[in-house]
């Protein structure tokens, strides 16, 4: 809920209240979401309630008219208002940025130890993306297969057995691609090695070398086969000598299925162009791409990448990586309108064929946003191995020392014993997030340097209206006074400003 601007060269940026109603994304949704709903209702369909709430809450996010907090400096009594967030997980850039900052800080400060980490990214064929969007519980089971396969590889590579060593990972499930398409894939932050107990019961870390192209290809093949067998046992997949087919029963009343399908395959979901490929802008493909140096393998529509890592001392790099994989789905900076009223969205990185932008009709753009909304109670962050909440080793390896109380406290770092439960579960305040991510210290008054604290939460509509009306009148009065004051002029002449020869003019 903020914008940052520089107060001067080298100075920390000031805090400014975000005004979402002035952003292009807000204006598009405000204008075209009712029309999108009406077009669905004309065909006897309606969006699920969880998707409707995503749009409705987005239109109230950051708006003072729907509630706010009052914060005041304890010294000079200067006040400001901070609007409430929507707290939704779909496409809101403002709350998405807040969640990104909170997730990254939590992982770096409390979960990930000071050991080398590697990012493993697994992408799926179109059919499985559709399956996971419709059945999140299956996505969780497939994630278990993926973790067990990769962790077994790391343990064996380190020279241990699964009973003698353990590794750990945190998975952030992303649902979007660079073109606002529905692209469910796994970003897994794995320990670049394993933990094993020494003779004294202490967990010791053993690093492994980076995966080779051959290892990645073998792992991608293993994952594709194991996931296919799992889906066959579930009765959801049928394979022949050449192809695989998903066996899904779809209801004609399921309005999200066609939205998901068209988003996954880059096709128009509504209107006269229904089913056609989304319009794109392309340039000449770059010849500088050298895929041979990438740590990536592809197999039967699966893609496994493991080319990004952070050393134990690179905590800043690790936090940036955590922010990247937990970033919001929509970037307002890459959103624009064309001269004929269509919506142009710039890709973060140009595709191999030279595609740089995608262009949507307004209603199709709303359909793409609707497809990005996850189903309720689908957890998009998962902890595995030694980082799992039920792991007996979590208290020994994580910086926050959270986890099950060890049977022998002396076998673990006992700093956690000196903390209260409130201290161990303390989360960063929104003020601390601003300072950490954007270098904005809102806990310090910008006028006098005093301490700022929250003094009230205003939610009553009548009180909200009175406060905003008062502030509007006050701003109008200040603006009027500013324009009615006479122009600046030189100070009046006085005897003290001149020598003795000129003093007589005033006698």
| pLDDT reported for residue 15 | 56
Q: How far apart are CA 73 and CA 445, in angstroms?
A: 6
Mean pLDDT per segment of 10 residues, for the chain of length 507 residues?
40 63 95 96 93 96 88 84 87 90 90 96 94 92 97 96 94 95 96 91 92 96 95 83 65 82 94 91 68 74 95 95 94 94 93 92 97 93 94 90 60 47 51 54 72 84 88 76 56 44 36
Q: How far apart are the first and last CA of the chain?
A: 63
Q: Identify which of 76, 96, 97, 26 has the alpha carbon closest to the alpha carbon of residue 56.
A: 26
Q: How many CA atoms lie within 13 A of 47 on its CB side?
A: 24
- pLDDT for the residue numbered 291: 45
Nearest to 367 by CA among 280, 252, 271: 271
Beta bridge partners, 205, equal 195
User: 3-state SS of the chain: helix, strand, coil percent to 5?
Assistant: 40, 20, 40
How far is residue 127's CA from residue 138's CA, in Å, rounded to a whole number?
13
The answer for residues whose C-beta is within 8 angstroms of residue 255's C-beta and 6 or more apart is 40, 45, 46, 47, 48
Give buried/exposed letters for 25-63 (b at 16+ CB in 10 A, else e).
bbebbeebbeebbebbeeeeeebeeebebbbebbbebbb
Per-residue pLDDT, 101: 87
> How far, in Å, CA of 147 to CA of 155, rounded?
12
Q: Report the distance separating Cα 123 and Cα 16, nearest Å.
A: 38
What region, left, alpha or beta, does residue 476 occupy, with left being phi > 0 and alpha being psi -120 to 50 degrees? alpha
């Amino acid at each position: 809920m903020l914008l940052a601007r520089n107060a001067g060269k080298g100075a920390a940026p000031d805090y400014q209240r975000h005004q979402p109603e002035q952003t292009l994304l807000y204006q598009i949704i405000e204008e075209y979401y009712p029309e999108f709903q009406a077009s669905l209702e004309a065909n006897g369909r309606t969006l699920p309630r969880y998707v409707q709430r995503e749009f409705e809450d987005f239109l109230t996010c950051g708006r003072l008219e729907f509630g706010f907090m009052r914060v005041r400096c304890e010294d000079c009594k200067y006040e400001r208002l901070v609007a409430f967030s929507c707290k939704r997980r779909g496409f809101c850039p403002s709350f998405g940025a807040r969640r990104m900052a909170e997730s990254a800080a939590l992982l770096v400060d409390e979960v990930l130890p000071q050991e080398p980490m590697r990012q493993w990214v697994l992408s799926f064929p179109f059919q499985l993306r559709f399956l996971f969007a419709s059945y999140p519980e299956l996505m969780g089971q497939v994630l278990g297969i993926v973790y067990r396969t990769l962790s077994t590889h790391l343990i064996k590579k380190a020279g241990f057995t699964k009973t003698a060593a353990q590794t750990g990972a945190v998975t952030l499930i992303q649902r979007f691609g660079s073109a606002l398409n529905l692209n469910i894939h796994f970003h897994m932050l794995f320990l670049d090695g394993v933990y094993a107990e020494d003779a004294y019961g202490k967990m010791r870390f053993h690093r492994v070398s980076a995966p080779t192209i051959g290892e990645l290809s073998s792992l991608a093949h293993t994952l594709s086969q194991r996931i296919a067998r799992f889906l066959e046992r579930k009765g959801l997949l049928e394979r022949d000598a050449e192809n695989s087919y998903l066996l899904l029963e779809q209801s004609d009343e399921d309005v999200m299925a066609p939205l998901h399908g068209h988003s996954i395959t880059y096709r128009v979901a509504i209107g006269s162009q229904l089913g056609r490929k989304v319009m794109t802008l392309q340039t000449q493909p770059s010849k500088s791409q050298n895929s041979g140096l990438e740590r990536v393998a592809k197999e039967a529509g699966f893609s496994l990448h493991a080319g990004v890592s952070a050393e134990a001392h690179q905590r800043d790099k690790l936090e940036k990586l955590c922010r990247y994989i937990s970033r919001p789905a929509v970037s307002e900076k890459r959103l624009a309108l064309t001269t004929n009223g269509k919506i142009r969205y710039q890709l973060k990185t140009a595709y191999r064929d030279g595609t740089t932008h995608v262009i949507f009709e307004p209603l199709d753009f709303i359909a793409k946003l609707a497809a990005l909304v996850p189903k309720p109670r689908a957890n998009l962050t998962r902890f595995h191995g030694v980082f799992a909440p039920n792991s007996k080793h979590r208290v020994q390896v994580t910086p926050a020392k959270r986890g099950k109380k060890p049977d022998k406290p002396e076998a673990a770092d006992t700093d956690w014993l000196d903390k209260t439960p409130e201290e161990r579960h303390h989360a960063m305040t929104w003020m601390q997030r601003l300072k950490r991510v954007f270098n904005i210290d809102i806990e310090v008054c910008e006028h006098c340097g005093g301490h700022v604290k929250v003094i009230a939460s205003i939610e009553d509509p009548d009180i909200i209206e009175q406060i905003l009306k008062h502030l509007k009148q006050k701003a109008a009065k200040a603006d009027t006074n500013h324009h009615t004051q006479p122009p600046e002029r030189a100070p009046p002449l006085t005897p003290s400003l001149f020598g003795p020869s000129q003093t007589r003019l005033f006698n």
